[in-house]
Amino acid sequence: MVSDTSVTLGGIRLKNPVIPASGTFGFGFEMAACYDLNRLGAIALKGTTLEPRFGNPTPRIAECTGGLLNAVGLQNPGIDALVSDIAPKVRALCDTPLIANISGFAVDEYGICCEKADACAEIDIIEVNISCPNVHQGGMTFGTDPAAAAAVTRRARKATSKPLFIKLTPNVSDIVPIAKACEDEGADGLTLINTLPGMRIDIRRRKPVLANRTGGFSGPALFPIAVRFVNQAATACRIPIIGCGGVSTAEEVIEMMMAGATAVQVGSANLRDPLACPTIIDALPAVMKQLNIDKLEDIIGII
């Protein structure tokens, strides 16, 4: 029997649950020379804001045990470039569903960006990021308070009829009130988690390694934390979840789905190995066979 790796996310059928996470895969077309983008379940495009951003000063990346720190600071060409040029460019290369990742510094900015993404035929799903720890205003601020998260979700919901996912931060004592606030305001799904804030110091120079001082910690060490958050949100909410955080193997995709995720984003593993996603996808059927899983959808939230 052929293993069925397909899943349905926001009413859209994906051939498999593996999605490169926003910020670790460029806008997608950069990777087209490495492999066929149609192999992916979907593509989460690089985070986009209303206006173009240069991002934080360099250095922006620091390696550390179990992962890495990044403080890129949402460098991007702006939403107008995404919808007029970049998304059509990616669509010309593949039929894979495209997820626009939207960030903002005010509620109305989120709304305007969502309206522009909604009007873009090439974008299939909108992922609103209220969890970025690497900017000095906005970002994670909206994701740590249920009322603020609800306000962003409400504005984004009015701006789009496309499937709307809200990306949440782990930097809270309890994810459930925030997840439920987003669900109550009409979110079609959630993405969790984003990075945890961290810091490295160059002991020879006696200075922080990152110009921004702190950055978002991602990588394998984050995986158990992500599984916990996914399971908590999946238990409390009825909407689908995209699990994200430290995933680097087919076994971890399955573990994340057992915790409650419908699809899984692969993040920093792409930076270490550009072929991480197709490698995981190719390994899924054999791992499913070992675990007597015929359909991946059957294991979503089984624990």
Rounded Cα–Cα distance for residues 114 and 52 (Å): 16
The helix (H) or strand (E) run that includes residue 278 is helix 276-290
Rounded Cα–Cα distance for residues 257 and 254 (Å): 5
Rounded Cα–Cα distance for residues 230 and 241 (Å): 7
What is the band of 19 on the pLDDT scale with cuts at 50, 70, 90?
A: very high
User: Distance of alpha carbon 154 from its chain centroid, rounded?
Assistant: 20
- Reply yes or no on whether the pLDDT at 181 is more than 50: yes
Q: Assign 101 to helix, strand or coil.
A: strand
Rounded Cα–Cα distance for residues 117 and 234 (Å): 27
CA atoms 171, 141, 50, 60: torsion sign: negative
Segment 212-232 shows an average pLDDT of 97
Rounded Cα–Cα distance for residues 228 and 253 (Å): 14
- Which residue among the candidates 132, 237, 244, 277 is catalytic per the annotation? 132
pTM above 0.85, yes or no: yes
- Reply yes or no on whether the pLDDT at 8 is more than 80: yes
- Cα–Cα distance list, 150 to 69, 157, 220, 284 (Å): 29, 10, 30, 36
Q: Are 281 and 18 in contact (CB under 8 A)?
A: yes
Number of residues written out for the chain: 303
* Top-level class of domain 7-299: alpha beta
- Cα–Cα distance list, 190 to 172, 181, 260, 290 (Å): 16, 11, 11, 30
- Reply yes or no on whether the pLDDT at 231 is more than 50: yes
- Cα–Cα distance list, 157 to 78, 113, 114, 126, 185 (Å): 21, 12, 9, 10, 8
Q: Give the tens place of pLDDT for each residue, 74-123.
A: 999 999 999 999 999 999 999 999 999 999 999 999 999 999 999 999 99
Let me know if 34 is a catalytic residue: no
What φ, ψ does residue 176 adopt, rounded to 5°? -60, -50
- Reply yes or no on whether the pLDDT at 137 is more than 60: no
- Reply yes or no on whether the pLDDT at 135 is more than 70: no
Rounded Cα–Cα distance for residues 215 and 195 (Å): 9
Segment 202-231 shows an average pLDDT of 97
Which is nearest to 265 in space by CA: 173, 189, 178? 189
Segment 278-283 shows an average pLDDT of 98
Domain ranges of the chain: 7-299
Q: What does the block give as tokens for 206?
A: 């006696």
